[in-house]
A and B are shown apart, each in its own frame.
Chain A
Amino acid sequence: MKLTVLMLSLCVATVMAQAPSVERSYAAGRDAPIDDRAIVTLARMTDFLKMLNTFRISSESSRDEIVDTDMKVQKNASNVMSVRLPDRLHAHVRGDDRDLEFFYNGRTLTVFSREKNYYASTPAPPTISRTLDATRARHGIVMPLADFIQMAAGEDFKQSIVGAGHIGTSRIDGVECDHLAIRQADVDWQVWIEKGATPLPRKLVITTKNQPTQPQYVATLEWDLSPGIDDSLFTFVPPPNAVRIMFARTKNRDESPANP
């Protein structure tokens, strides 16, 4: 009996002594708030996106809106983003209550509502990246999947991450993906990244944490890495009876008071 206990203790001691040296990096990664494997997978995606020049993303998205104080309803949209870095963008957003096109040709950004036949144009900065930021800051417009376009343009997303885990393998539209869960101060997000030679994001979920109902945004993505895009797509030519109106300007400020 004593011998058995002794042997067991020895075994345990041996395992405890050996385990850290064998498993240290893996165990530390799995338990750490920021798992190395998640960061490596994320970096594979961003590195791949940075190599892209011309691409088209077709996505289906849904976004929670809050009605009746605390009830979530989903608004859906189909989006097609045609991008040629660094300075061409066309987006077509067809949602529940809107049919909008965005045109950017390196000089001018135009928003056109086909149903209302109104458009607004404004001089824009010389790159997509700066234009996406300026449009958001000046006019409160966030383009669909702007984050991935910013990644392709070289923006670093790592600074804001306070937690990151590799959840496992998942299939999106039949494609095997790495499933990552990422934490930031104000949002949690999940991304499903295709395994293999083309580590593209296939699905995105954003959970807004600073609202009590924690509404979510979900988008699934299809990528075309060699789209045929005519340059005329990026320049808006007003239809004969279209009416030009202006953008309202938002104030430049650092806080976001409407998201308490």
Chain B
Amino acid sequence: MNQRSARVVRRIRPAFVVAVAALLVLGSTAIDAQRRGGGARAGVRVNQNVSRTSVRSNQTVNRNVTANRDIDRNVNRDLNVNRDIDIDRDIDFDRDIDIDVDYDRWGHPIARGVAGGVAAGVALGTTVALLPSGCSTIVVGGVAYSQCGSGWYQPYYSGTTVQYVVVSAPR
């Protein structure tokens, strides 16, 4: 998606984005996108371009990491956001700012969670940059959650940016 259309999409209400995405892509991909995201985030991608801060290429880094067998450690310790939403697709190695959130014209993140969470129609796996007001931090089974009314979010580091993924209520 080029920048111009990304900006247009950004102004459209999320409910329409899936429809637009479905129109734009071939059938199987659209079905996949709907199944995967199930809501606001599917098919949306907004690049917030930034300069690189390292002259070393990703290829060099990946080669070293692979040679040293350092890439596959901690798979079970890291948050597998990918299971719920294809966040992997949108995280760029070279950025310490995550781009899987929408930004306004002047670069501020605008995806904010809602107090009702899943009950209010927000899909599981949706990532937001900001929480609604009145949330509290609750640790259940060693995992930190933000409870916002009946909605539950799990904060995580995407790069160096804290984001919140919609989860079902922990038991």
- CB <8 Å contact, B144 and A245: yes
CB contacts (< 8 Å) of A120 on chain B: these are 156-157
B: contact size bracket: 35 or more
Contact B162 A116 (CB under 8 A): yes
B56: A residues at CB distance < 8 A: 146-147, 150, 155, 157, 160
A93 to B70, CA, bound (A): 25
Q: With A65-B49, A73-B107, A215-B51 in contact, do A137 and B71 touch (Cβ < 8 Å)?
A: yes
The reply to whether A184 and B55 form a contact with Cβ atoms under 8 Å apart is: yes
Judge whether A147 and B157 touch: CB under 8 Å: no
Q: Check: B50 CB closer than 8 A to any chain A CB.
A: yes
Task: Flag whether B160 is at the interface (Cβ < 8 A).
Answer: yes
B162 and A142 within 8 A (CB): no
Considering only residues 163-201 of chain A, those with a C-beta below 8 Å from chain B are 182, 184-187, 189
Please state if A130 and B157 are interface contacts (CB–CB under 8 Å): no
| Chain A interfacial residues counted at CB < 8 A | 69
Contact call B53/A63, Cβ cutoff below 8 A: yes
**Contact status A65-B50, CB under 8 Å:** yes
Given A258-B95, A259-B94, verify A187-B55 contact (CB < 8 Å): yes
Contact call A142/B144, Cβ cutoff below 8 A? no
A230 to B35, CA, bound (A): 52
**Is the C-beta of A36 less than 8 angstroms from some C-beta in chain B?**
no
**Chain B residue contacts of A113, Cβ below 8 A:** 160, 162
CA distance A93 to B44 in the complex (A): 31
Q: How far is the CA of A144 from the CA of B52 in the complex (A)?
A: 11
B106 engages A67 (CB within 8 Å): yes
* CB-based nearest A residue for B95: A140
Residues of chain A contacted by B156 (CB below 8 angstroms): 120, 245-248
* Residue pair A248, B65 in contact (C-beta under 8 Å): no
Judge whether A137 and B61 touch: CB under 8 Å.
yes
Q: Give bound CA distance, A213 to B87, whole Å.
A: 26
Q: Report if A249-B80 is in contact (Cβ < 8 Å); known contacts: A136-B93, A144-B53, A213-B49.
A: yes
Instruction: Assess whether B39 is interfacial by the CB under 8 Å rule.
Output: no
B137 within 8 A of A: yes
Q: B53 and A252: CB pair below 8 A?
A: no
Beta-carbon nearest neighbor of B86 in chain A: A251
Of residues 41 through 82 on chain A, the ones whose CB sits less than 8 Å from some CB of chain B are 61, 63-70, 73
Q: Does A20 contact B (CB under 8 A)?
A: no
- Complex Cα distance, B47 from A185, in Å, reads 22
Does chain B have a CB within 8 A of A162?
no
A217 adjacent to B78 (CB under 8 Å): no
C-alpha gap A73/B21 in the complex (Å): 30
Q: Is B133 an interface residue (CB 8 A)?
A: no
Given contact pairs A160-B56, A206-B52, A248-B163, a sample of 14 additional A-B residue pairs in the complex whose CB atoms are under 8 Å apart: A64-B50, A66-B49, A67-B106, A133-B64, A140-B91, A142-B53, A157-B56, A186-B52, A186-B57, A244-B144, A246-B77, A248-B91, A250-B93, A258-B91
6 sample A-B contacts, Cβ–Cβ < 8 Å, listed by A number: A61-B53, A140-B92, A147-B55, A217-B53, A248-B157, A249-B78
The list of the 9 closest CB pairs from A to B, nearest first, reads A215-B51, A258-B92, A246-B79, A249-B78, A66-B49, A251-B88, A134-B70, A67-B107, A140-B159
